[in-house]
Amino acid sequence: MESGQDAATNGIPHVLVVDDTEVIRVMLCDMLAALGCTVAAFSSGQAVLEHVAGGAGFNFIMMDCQMPQMDGLETTRRLLQEHPDRDIQVVAISAHGSHTDQIQQREAGMTEHLNKPFRLKELQALLSRMG
C-alpha cells in the first residue's frame, strides 16, 4: 500500500489544504509552513481529486467540509474509492463540530477533526497526532 509518507522528503510533512474560502486557505497554509510543513492549496474538491489522480504524494489532506459543488465529505469518499491502494488520511476542518457532524465525517472516511477557528497550538497538536 502506498503511503502518504512517500511524499515527505527529509522528514518534512507535505499537506494538501482544500477550502473554498481564500482567507482560510492562506491562513492555514501560513500556519502549516510556520510549523515546518510544505503545502499545496486547492479551492475545490474537484481540484484536489485531479491533483491526487495525477499521482501527487502527500502526508495528509486538510479538507473543509462545506464547499460548493462538491463538499468535503463527498470529496473524501471519492478519494478513498478512487485510490484504495493509498493510505489517504483526511482531516475535517469545519465550523460545525457537533457529535453528529463528527460521526458523518468519520463515516465519510475522515480520520481527524479540527474546529474552525483554531489556533496554532491546536494545529501543532494535530500534526503530532498525524505523525
Which CATH number is 36's domain given?
3.40.50.2300
Residue 110 lies in a domain: yes
Q: What is the pLDDT of residue 131?
A: 74
User: What does the pLDDT average to over 38-54?
Assistant: 96
- Check whether 85 has a pLDDT greater than 60: yes
Residue 131 lies in a domain: no
Rounded Cα distance between 118 and 24, Å, is 11
Residue 75 lies in a domain: yes
Q: What is the pLDDT of residue 29?
A: 97
Residue 80 lies in a domain: yes
| Residue 7 per-residue DSSP state | G
Provide the residue range defining the domain that includes 108: 2-125
What is the number of domains present in the chain?
A: 1
Going from the C-alpha of 46 to that of each of 10, 88, 118, the distances in angstroms are 29, 16, 25
Residue 102 lies in a domain: yes
- Check whether 76 has a pLDDT greater than 80: yes
Residue 46 lies in a domain: yes
Residue 130 lies in a domain: no
| Residue 118 per-residue DSSP state | -
Residue 107 lies in a domain: yes
Which parts of the chain fold into alpha helices (H)? 22-34, 45-53, 72-82, 99-108, 120-130
Average pLDDT across the chain, whole number: 90
0.85 exceeded by pTM: yes
Burial class (CB in 10 A: 0-12, 13-18, 19+), 22: exposed
What are the counts of helices (DSSP H) followed by strands (DSSP E) for the chain? 5, 7
- Check whether 3 has a pLDDT greater than 50: no
Q: What is the pLDDT of residue 23?
A: 95
